[in-house]
C-alpha cells in the first residue's frame, strides 16, 4: 500500500486538485478527505490552556501545601527516578 498525505485549503468552489509524485503507482486508489479544526479554534484552545496554566501558577499555596511540596522535593532527592524538581517547571 502506498500513501501520500497532502494538506490543502478547501476553497469556495469545493474543488481540490491533487498532483501525486511520479513514483506513485498507477491504478485504482481511494481518496479520503478529512476536515481539520480551523486554526482559530485550535488557537483559541491553546489560548484557553495557557490562561488556565497562568492562573494556576498565580495561586498562593497554603503553608500545608508548601510543606507537601517540600516533603516531595526531599523524597525526590532520596529516590531519584528522573523527575524534574518543581523549581525546573517553567513559569
For the full predicted model, state whether its pTM sits above 0.85: no
Kindly report, residue by residue over 25-66, the tens digit of the pLDDT: 899 988 888 887 665 566 677 788 888 888 887 778 888 988
Query: Locate cell 509524485: which residue?
Result: 21
Burial per residue of 70-81, b for 16 or more beta-carbon CB atoms within 10 angstroms, e otherwise = eeeeeeeeeeee
61: which DSSP letter? P
Amino acid at each position: 500500500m502506498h500513501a501520500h498525505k497532502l494538506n490543502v485549503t478547501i476553497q469556495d468552489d469545493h474543488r481540490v486538485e491533487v498532483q501525486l509524485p511520479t513514483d506513485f503507482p498507477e491504478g485504482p486508489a481511494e481518496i479520503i478527505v478529512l476536515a481539520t479544526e480551523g486554526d482559530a479554534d485550535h488557537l483559541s484552545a491553546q489560548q484557553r490552556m495557557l490562561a488556565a496554566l497562568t492562573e494556576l501558577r498565580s495561586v498562593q499555596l497554603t503553608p500545608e501545601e508548601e510543606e507537601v511540596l517540600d516533603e516531595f522535593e526531599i523524597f525526590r532527592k532520596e529516590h531519584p527516578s528522573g523527575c524534574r524538581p518543581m523549581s525546573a517547571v517553567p513559569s
